[in-house]
């Protein structure tokens, strides 16, 4: 891959906020509360985004017990050599199924826990393919954002895409459920330099859009804690417009649906398995990454870093995930050009900040980790 192509890819990836959301068994038992993730995990799938236009998205597997890492051909090996496709966006576990969004190929794969295909969904609107982005789940449905501006839902029993879709806003990305509502970050990522600055609020019961919440421009990632607070990372404009607007991590009180706090700059985040600590990384271009924690109950950013100073990374962080059983932190990264973009996953102890393990993901641009039991 030459330099021109690499820089073009990097710019587009930033503009579109192609960030993987680590998956969990997020089947809420009720609409009002955060639900703990898996209590046991045997291993972790790593989704590699791949090179734009090269159809080389891939999945590798890390066996926690043996410490072995598979080649990045898990999907192909159980699907008769079928290629995953172009730009692996996100993976999400609900029950005994994995939902895989491949945005460049505009396809959703629903697989069993070995990644063997059960159902392939290709959705079109006005004759144009809809690019899937991220998932969450509640009750009988898995919800998915489509980049053309819609929120849709998949019946978990029939695996069919519901014909009803909700228009939420331009270029929706991450989503979470709290207090009987679905919160959807509508980035406007394709509207550069005039990004969107709204989080859509969709009523869960009626499946209709009820409100919008103003946030910093270009919102993309969403998290929820055990108290029902919603966290939104907005990417700003990457310093590519005037005035320059940097990233921001904001807190939404879902009782009043208003932003109540700004925790500063951030690029990636993940809530702890107990739902009481938010881990977040700020990886602004040209600056050294920072690794911070926010105490949900105390409403306080804690001093220090959750990664020790002697822990190094192969390059820029590209994902952040937390093992729901052990609390270990998984940070994906890839080397800078002109080195190969084959990714690396680094596992950090959440209690000590020390390095536990490091391994190659075997594919290009690791977008995140999906834990399975």
Q: For residue 138, give every residue at least 6 positions away whose Cβ sits within 8 Å of its Cβ, in sequence order, or none.
A: 27, 28, 31, 177, 182, 204
User: What's residue 40's pLDDT?
Assistant: 80
CB-count exposure of residue 285 (10 Å: 0-12, 13-18, 19+): exposed
DSSP 85-104: -S-EEEEEEETTEEEEEETT
Report CA 232 to chain centroid distance, whole Å.
12
- The pLDDT of residue 46 is 98
Of 326, 228, 325, 330, whose CA–CA distance to 276 is shortest? 228
Which of 300, 299, 279 is closest to 291 using CA atoms? Answer: 279
Cis status of the peptide bond prior to 31, with omega within 30 of 0:
no
Instruction: Tell me the pTM.
Output: 0.92
Pairing mode, if any, of strands 27-28 and 132-138? parallel
Domain ranges of the chain: 3-267
pLDDT value of residue 35? 63
Cα angle for residues 303, 244, 312 (degrees, 5° grid): 40
Phi, psi of 268 (to 5 degrees): -140, 155
Residue 337: the pLDDT is 78
Q: Which DSSP helix (H) or strand (E) runs through 226?
A: none
- pLDDT above 70 as % of the chain: 90
Give me 95's structure tokens.
């029950």
Q: Is the peptide bond before 280 cis (omega within 30 degrees of 0)?
A: no
Q: What is the pLDDT of residues 41-80, one digit of tens each?
A: 899 999 999 999 999 999 999 999 999 999 999 999 999 9
Q: Is 133 within 8 Å of 110 (Cβ atoms)?
A: no
Distance CA 199, CA 171 (A): 11
* Of 163, 161, 204, 154, nearest in space to 183 by CA: 204
**Other Cβ atoms closer than 10 A to 83:** 16
Helix (H, G, I), strand (E, B), or coil: what is residue 16? helix
CA-CA distance, 95 to 99, in Å (whole number)? 10
Three-class SS string for 20-82?
A: CCCECCCEECCCCCCCCCCCCCCEEEEEECCCCCCCCCEEEEEECCCCCECCCCHHHHHCCCC
- Does the structural domain 3-267 have CATH classification 2.130.10.10? yes
Confidence (pLDDT) at 25: 46
pLDDT at 285: 85
Residue with tokens 């973009």: 341
In whole angstroms, what is the distance from residue 239 CA to residue 83 CA? 36
Tokens of 333: 């990264």
Q: What is the mean pLDDT of each run of 10 residues along the chain (373 residues)?
A: 35 38 47 62 94 96 94 96 98 96 98 97 97 97 98 98 98 97 97 96 98 98 97 95 95 98 98 97 92 98 97 95 96 86 95 97 95 91
Stated as kind and residue range, the H or E segment containing 7 is helix 3-16
Q: How many CA atoms lie within 13 A of 358 on its CB side?
A: 10
């Amino acid at each position: 891959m030459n330099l021109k192509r690499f820089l073009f890819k990097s710019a587009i990836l930033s503009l579109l906020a192609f960030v993987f959301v680590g998956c969990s068994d997020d089947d809420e038992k009720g609409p009002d509360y955060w639900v703990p993730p898996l209590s046991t995990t045997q291993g972790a799938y790593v989704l590699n985004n791949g090179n734009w236009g090269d159809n080389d998205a891939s999945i590798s597997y890390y066996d926690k017990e043996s410490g072995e890492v598979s080649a990045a051909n898990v999907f192909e090996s159980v699907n008769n050599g079928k290629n995953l496709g172009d730009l692996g966006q996100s993976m999400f576990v609900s029950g005994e199924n994995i939902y895989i969004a491949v945005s460049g190929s505009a396809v959703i794969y629903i697989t069993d826990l070995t990644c063997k295909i059960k159902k392939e969904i290709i959705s079109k609107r006005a004759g144009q393919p809809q690019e899937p982005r991220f998932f969450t789940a509640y009750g009988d449905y898995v919800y998915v954002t489509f980049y053309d501006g819609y929120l849709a839902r998949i019946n978990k029993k029939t695996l069919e895409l519901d014909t009803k879709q909700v228009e939420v806003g331009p270029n929706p990305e991450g989503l979470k459920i709290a207090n009987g509502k679905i919160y959807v970050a509508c980035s406007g990522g394709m509207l550069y330099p005039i990004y969107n600055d709204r989080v859509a609020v969709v009523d869960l019961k009626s499946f209709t859009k009820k409100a919008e919440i103003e946030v910093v421009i270009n919102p993309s990632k969403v998290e929820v804690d055990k108290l029902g607070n919603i966290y939104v990372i907005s990417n700003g404009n990457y310093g590519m417009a005037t005035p320059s607007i940097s990233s921001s991590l904001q807190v939404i009180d879902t009782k009043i649906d208003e932003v109540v706090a700004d925790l500063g700059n951030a690029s990636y985040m993940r809530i702890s398995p107990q739902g009481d600590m938010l881990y977040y990384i700020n990886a602004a271009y040209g600056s050294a990454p920072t690794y911070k924690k926010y105490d949900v109950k105390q409403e306080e950013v804690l001093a220090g870093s959750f990664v020790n100073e002697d822990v190094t990374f192969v390059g820029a962080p590209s994902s952040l995930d937390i093992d729901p059983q052990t609390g270990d932190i998984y940070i994906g990264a890839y080397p800078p050009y002109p080195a190969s973009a084959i990714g690396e996953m680094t596992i950090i102890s959440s209690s000590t900040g020390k390095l536990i393990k490091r391994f190659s993901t075997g594919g290009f641009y690791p977008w995140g980790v999906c834990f399975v039991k």
